[in-house]
Structure 1
Amino acid sequence: MSITIAPGACFHCGLPNTEGDTYPVSIIGQTHFMCCPGCQAVASAIVDNGLESYYEFRTEPAARGDAALDNTMSKLAVYDEPELQEEFVFDQGKDKQIQLTVEGITCAACGWLIEKQLAKLEGIKQVSVNVSARRALVTWNNEQIKLSGVLSRMKSIGYESLPFQPDNHEASYKKEQKSYLKKLGLAGIMTMQVMMLAMGQYFDMFGNIDAEAIGYFNAVSLLLTTPVVLYSGSIFYVSAIKAMMAKTVNMDVPITIAIAATYVAGVLAVNKSTGEVYFESICMFIFFLLISRFLEHRSRHRASEISSNMLKLIPVTASRLQDGQWVSVLAKQLLAGDTVLVKAGESIPIDGVITEGESSADESMLTGEFEPVKKRKGDRVYAGSLNQQGSITLQVSSSLKFAMMNQILRLQEVAMGSKPKVALIADRLSRYFVSVVLVVSALTYWYWWSQNDPHAFWITISVLVATCPCALGLATPSALTCAMAKLNKLGILLKRADALEQITHATDIVFDKTGTLTQGKFSINRAVYMPDASLIETTSAPAGVSVNKHVEEHLSSLACLLESRSEHPIAKAFSAEALKVKSMSSFNIESYDVEIGKGICASVNGQKCYIGSKKYVLSNSQQADIWPGANVLMAINGKVAAAFWVTDTIKEDVKSVLDSLHTYDLSILSGDAQENVDAIASQLNITHGFGGCPPEAKLDHIHAQQQQAKSIIMLGDGINDAPVLAAADVSIAVGNASDLAKNAADIVLLNPKLNALSDVIEMAVRTKRKIKQNIAWALGYNLLVLPFAVSGVLTPWQAALGMSLSSIIVVYNSTRLMR
């Protein structure tokens, strides 16, 4: 009969429960409360394993749960503090997102295990693990689960995790590398000694060796092999145990079975002085595997550090204006609105806008272009770029957390979470393949055992080792990581990893005109003002100024005023300098409304004003088009008051880039006048040019094309391009794009030159080819080696060497993408 737990006491250990209902566990259909996370964890384990009857028949309370878990939870709880989260947690609407450094990841199966286990937690919205970079991106609902709960779950399945910080992440990598080298060094030294003893027996180098000497050599070999098995090989057992605890299998399960079985068989043989021993095979097996894992570990780090090292360009300190003096502070302490001094030769510590001084900035780490960019008052500068010439002061626009460089790296992690179809297939295939390996190994043993073959056990071990699908698990993530690292070096930001795969299926490339194919630097070639004094408030002109001249000055000032609030590239042509405007102080704007892709409607000094595309203005003035070639009109109270001929120039590299894309159907989709679009299309030999398209017309065009089974790549840069960028199969924002367009795009070209498009397409094709090569090699090797292993031709150590070389070849093949 079960004991009775006093009210208010822990149901598991019987000690006073001071935590109330903080740690509940459902036992036999009833909720009971525990006093600490340790008791809760033990009780949950008892229930999960179907041992609930323990609580019905126990005669005394259990020992208190692991106090270490309670201590761990109290340490992790500090990460729930808002002040601490401010540095590394990002808001995603109602949810929160964090990037974690994860220790203990050894292969693709580790990433899959973490994703599946965290996804089971209530409140977890998304989990994506980048195996190559040893990072995890987690999105969660803070009302349902706290960050400490996420970190605790990671720890419970065997992975230490902390918020990603470049310095700590690098230290974590060096710690793992040091551990690999220790294990590898021990395995290498012991392998040489064991091999020496084994060779002596194989070739009888010491003359006729009697049974007693052989037993002695085997005992020494066992002594030398034991630390290799227990220490050097521990990385495989830990990974296998994690998988088994999560009720799944990974690539380290067959490896662990092979090592354990071979070692136990050797121990029994030494104790009984009968049978064969393969201690040299065990040592060589572990040694080769460790070499493979170490090289994979180093290659993956080398690929990811190209991106991570960008953060090292940001200086730790900055000179901030404080109480009239320049004070050195930590860059991460800077806030929006602070004033910062950057001297010549110093790296810019944070994103901001120049308030004083002129200089040239090296932004090659962002754009891939090494030509310095001229910076003047009012221009934006970015953290990590190098101030090459004069001293400048800048006003901080956002904290370091939201600096462009940090945003780029964060978006890259998000991109790695969106796996291409081929990656999902490879992950699924590798998990099924492990199960197949175990089944084939069991059948192999049964067959040779039924044939009374004394080597049945060792043949089975060879099958387990030779067919382990490590290379298959590395095929896709290694290629994607290397591809993203190379694109990042070229100044190309990939926001969705599966966009690379979709590019390879594209049939059409659609370009916006202004700012994408053209420079977006407009100038007014001609302006015509209507000599109608009724268009302005008064007909009295200043002394010495004709009425027509007065009307012209008034209309040019009004056009300058209306366009000054617009973000459209054409608006920059209507500067006070270009229109020779002296003052706009006489105008009072009562209302102002921008119709994206069309123009501006405003009420100024009681007059209804329109300025924008010819089609837009004429539709609101009910007048005929008598201004051929003019692409911008301005109307006041229903009368056209001015016409402007605004021109743009094609970017230098556009023609050569388009010539290289002859396999695609190219077209222009623009809001500009049809005659301007036709002129650009003619110069670039583009067959289809669609002008006068507002955002909804662009969207309809893309949808119509997609309904014809076409896959669209869309390039744009303006606010009006955001909807159509979101609708395209793959969207690309050029370097000078608006923030809204960049947010909607799948790929961002940080360099305004269009030749980066060719780089993206080429890399997409190469990446898909590498992934296919890797998968083909991994599967081909396993299928090729299987008959040799099953038939007993391969020894265990030969199988280990082949499997390790297979993984190394896959990783090496992927790193070729970075050349």
Structure 2
Amino acid sequence: MSINIPEGGCFHCGLPNLEGNKYPVTILGVSHSMCCPGCQAVASSIVDNGLESYYEFRTEPAARGDAALDNTLAKLAVYDEPELQEEFVFDIGTDKEIQLTVEGITCAACGWLIEKQLAKTKGIKQVSVNVGARRAMVIWDNNVLKLSQVLRQLKTIGYESLPFQADSHEASYQREQKSFLKKVGLSGLMTMQVMMLAMGQYFDLFGNIDAETTKYFNWISLVLTTPVVLYAGSVFYLSAMKAIMARTVNMDIPVTIAILATYIAGFFTVNKPNAEVYFESICMFIFFLLISRFLEHRSRHKATQISSNMLKHIPVTANLWTGKEARSVLAKQLKVDDLVLVKAGEIIPVDGFIVEGKALLDESMLTGEFEPVTKQVNDPVFGGTINQNGAIKLKVSKTLKHAMVNQILRLQETALSSKPKVALIADKLSRYFVVAVLTISALTYAFWAYQGNEHAFWITISVLVATCPCALGLATPSALTCAMARLNKQGILLKRADALEQLTEVTDIVFDKTGTLTHGEFTIDKSWFADNESASIDKYRSIAKSIELQSEHPIAKAFGSLETQTDLFAVDDLQVVIGKGLNCKIGKNQYHIGSPNYILGKIPAEALSEQQRNELQGANVLLSENDTLVSAFWLRDKLKEDVVDVIKALAPYEQTILSGDTLQNVTHVANSLNIKNTVAEQAPEQKLMYIKQLQANGRSVLMLGDGINDAPVLAVSDVSVAVGNASDLAKNAADVILLNQDLASLLHVINMAKRTKRKIKQNIAWALSYNILVLPFAIGGFLTPWMAALGMSISSIIVVYNSTRLMRNS
């Protein structure tokens, strides 16, 4: 060993060991005693990662580990309590999912490290890290692994983590913000002082400076530089150490080598006559690099804040209606079917349905539309929206944990953690680039040393600094985060980030008709009955209404306004045949109601005369009783106000209407919009086959839909969009959700996808071009370390600034 540990001292940190052999670790085949669980954990991690040689070549004892590790890990066990997990853990079948706030994430390599290390842990099914938001989404098998063990695993690789909560996450950001400001402030202040002394020597501003005075200035510079290196630059060393422990490389490795090598070289030569020291370059390098990281930190937070701050719209308390009076309770304690009183000016605490009253609601925090929406009895309301006037009572439909705001945030986090191909390529490229930088630096030093150049070392440092691929690492995550934040502000939710990339490759746009191009608010235009007696007509109207009220389909809502003299019937054995209709029993009779193709397929051909078939042309909904046709209904819908302009703007794409409605209705809509391709009267499986056929022909398909019957085709399309009034099943299958019903939002998505792709390409091109252009100058010895530091930092700042332009209107 290169150092001697005092007898009775901890083998890791050298401090007195009062615990004897309580914390042993076998290093290089020999058992050594540690003083605490922290030193034992760090030493074990070093051994487990194959870095035992550290103990052979170290010249000083290591810093002491977390002596309170046992207590820290014991505290984590509280997160295994089901009552506590109820607030932030979601059940996914037999598995569990959680969003974690992770402190200490500095770059994309940190996210890669966390994903790689956690993926090795038995019981963890999926890990996705959102570097921009400093969060991790973890899915695990609770029968194999406990939540506290997940948190413990993160802690052992150097990352503090806690379940994501808006307040604690914001506090975590503020802590990191203060830390950045302290380090930037310290390095900036010291840089000015050291630069002043260096300029005095460079230009001999103080007159003829003798050797003793130069040495004195160098010593002052060393003293001023030391806190910058040891404190302000620590963020880079920690990141580099984490990468090395994971047996990979990241951009902070060449940064760390450049800083420490320059500092150590200056430290050992500071006393020599005509000493060549670059303390001002070290300070400037750290200062500029910290500024670029700080700006990146702020821009990422600003982007993710748009989504995260949605939770701040949810009030802490709610007025629970007990039947006689309102009682103030915590919003998160509300249960399904509780009644809540919301007064004028108050915020809706949870999702629910209005059971009493009428009000104007501001839903802009969800939809991006600032026009108030009128809500009345039976209308849905969402937590976080504002009641502008009128008192209402609502029945809770979802607890706060499952409210739309929380669902949006979960989907947003999942989207931000999914990476498109270009992002994966950039991440991989940056790792290769770091290896190339280290290799080129080594070759540069070897060449100039062989040439006998006394500046070989400083030329090598300039190469390391100038070609640091920080800008390359920022190229994609900064652009994606800003793009998704902008879309979120416009009431557009992306469930996966790579949808932005695929949108730029779309060739065909396929529209469902009902509820997508049209309002989906049908009215019954006319009706037909096999028996024209008034009693029979009223009976079958009542039967049709009774059955259709059981469905969520937009067409079914038209029957809610049917006037009948007969009371509604009790419906039994209801079956939904997706995309076709409904089957049920009323009394002893079997009824089928749905599309003409579906109903006529159950009726013998000879049961209908040619005259009846002619009379039924264009009918949307048929009703049969015991396989006998008894009624038919013609429904009409109207186009959405903005759809004509949207279709014109999408003219470069091949457009198709794919609908289950009759050919007559589909053709009418297609002619109104000048859409040439129409495919009508399609069942869900036929829609699916149509999309697959397009894809088999090499087409890339964007599908827009809203109904339950659209879910299969939304799932199989290259990119799928669910409009604002879509069913939950359609939203679950879609890649993009338009939270408002404005179809023009689709144009915003496509435009943003194109802009994002351009920005990412610009960022990568700039980062690579800068590094390639500056490399010959660095290798040739034309750049001093401080010049290289300035150029590298400006390059990173340009990339971040370019990405933030996505958050503007154009």
Same fold (TM over 0.5): yes
- Residue 106 of structure 1 corresponds to which residue in structure 2? 106
- Residue 20 of structure 1 corresponds to which residue in structure 2? none
* Distance in 1 separating the partners of 2:79 and 2:89: 10
Cα pair 1:666 1:687 within 8 Å, conserved = yes
TM-score normalised by L of structure 2 = 0.92
Q: CA deviation at 1:37?
A: 9.1
Counterpart secondary structure, 1:804: helix
- Residue 299 of structure 1 corresponds to which residue in structure 2? 299
* Distance in 1 separating the partners of 2:294 and 2:51: 40
Cα pair 2:539 2:566 within 8 Å, conserved = no
Matched, 1:760 2:749: yes
Cα pair 1:770 1:813 within 8 Å, conserved = yes
* Distance in 2 separating the partners of 1:590 and 1:797: 81
Matched, 1:616 2:598: yes
Matched AA of 2:498: D
Counterpart secondary structure, 1:271: coil
- Residue 511 of structure 1 corresponds to which residue in structure 2? 511
Q: CA deviation at 1:27?
A: 12
Q: CA deviation at 1:668?
A: 0.8
Matched, 1:680 2:669: yes
Cα pair 1:38 1:70 within 8 Å, conserved = no
Cα pair 1:38 1:69 within 8 Å, conserved = no
Change (3 A) 1:750 1:558: same
Count how many residue pairs are aligned between Structure 1 and Structure 2: 768
Matched AA of 2:472: L
CA deviations over 1:434-459 (Å, ceiling 9, x no partner): 11101100111111111111111111
Q: CA deviation at 1:603?
A: 2.3
Change (3 A) 1:664 1:788: same
Cα pair 2:28 2:52 within 8 Å, conserved = no
- Residue 259 of structure 1 corresponds to which residue in structure 2? 259
324-333 or 362-371, which moves further after superposition?
A: 324-333
* Distance in 1 separating the partners of 2:296 and 2:39: 37
1:727-738 residue pairs with structure 2 within 5 A? Answer: 727-738=716-727
Cα pair 2:354 2:378 within 8 Å, conserved = yes
Cα pair 2:510 2:703 within 8 Å, conserved = yes
Matched AA of 1:685: N
- Residue 602 of structure 1 corresponds to which residue in structure 2? 584
* Distance in 2 separating the partners of 1:552 and 1:319: 47
Cα pair 1:470 1:807 within 8 Å, conserved = yes
Q: CA deviation at 1:673?
A: 0.9
Q: CA deviation at 1:615?
A: 1.7
Matched AA of 2:565: K
The structure 2 residue matched to 1:574, chosen from 553, 559, 567, is 559
The structure 2 residue matched to 1:777, chosen from 761, 766, 770, is 766
Change (3 A) 1:329 1:595: same
The structure 2 residue matched to 1:717, chosen from 692, 706, 709, is 706
Matched AA of 2:591: C
Matched, 1:591 2:573: yes
Matched AA of 2:753: A
- Residue 541 of structure 2 corresponds to which residue in structure 1? 556
* Distance in 2 separating the partners of 1:37 and 1:805: 40
CA deviations over 1:193-233 (Å, ceiling 9, x no partner): 11111111112122211111111111111111111111111
Q: CA deviation at 1:367?
A: 0.9
Matched, 1:708 2:697: yes
Percent pairwise identity: 64
1:435-514 residue pairs with structure 2 within 5 A? Answer: 435-514=435-514
Matched, 1:385 2:385: yes
- Residue 349 of structure 2 corresponds to which residue in structure 1? 349
* Distance in 1 separating the partners of 2:27 and 2:444: 45
CA deviations over 1:351-395 (Å, ceiling 9, x no partner): 111111110111111111111111111111001100011011111
Q: CA deviation at 1:341?
A: 0.9
- Residue 545 of structure 1 corresponds to which residue in structure 2? none
Matched AA of 1:238: L
* Distance in 2 separating the partners of 1:232 and 1:712: 50
TM-score normalised by L of structure 1 = 0.91
CA deviations over 1:688-708 (Å, ceiling 9, x no partner): 111111111111111111111
* Distance in 1 separating the partners of 2:333 and 2:67: 37
Matched AA of 2:599: V
- Residue 539 of structure 1 corresponds to which residue in structure 2? none
Change (3 A) 1:81 1:590: closer
* Distance in 1 separating the partners of 2:301 and 2:52: 44
- Residue 338 of structure 1 corresponds to which residue in structure 2? 338
Counterpart secondary structure, 1:90: strand
Q: CA deviation at 1:36?
A: 7.8
Q: CA deviation at 1:46?
A: 4.1
Matched, 1:740 2:722: no
CA deviations over 1:90-111 (Å, ceiling 9, x no partner): 1122211111111111112111
CA deviations over 1:303-357 (Å, ceiling 9, x no partner): 1111111111111111112474322122112121221111001111111111111
- Residue 376 of structure 1 corresponds to which residue in structure 2? 376
Q: CA deviation at 1:16?
A: 8.8
Q: CA deviation at 1:14?
A: 8.7
CA deviations over 1:576-609 (Å, ceiling 9, x no partner): xx32113325x44343222111122222222222
Change (3 A) 1:44 1:565: same
Cα pair 1:561 1:584 within 8 Å, conserved = no
- Residue 70 of structure 1 corresponds to which residue in structure 2? 70
Counterpart secondary structure, 2:68: helix
- Residue 699 of structure 1 corresponds to which residue in structure 2? 688
Q: CA deviation at 1:45?
A: 4.9
CA deviations over 1:395-415 (Å, ceiling 9, x no partner): 111111111011101101111
* Distance in 2 separating the partners of 1:609 and 1:708: 41
* Distance in 1 separating the partners of 2:288 and 2:570: 79
Matched, 1:158 2:158: yes
Cα pair 1:186 1:228 within 8 Å, conserved = yes
- Residue 538 of structure 1 corresponds to which residue in structure 2? none
The structure 2 residue matched to 1:800, chosen from 773, 784, 789, is 789
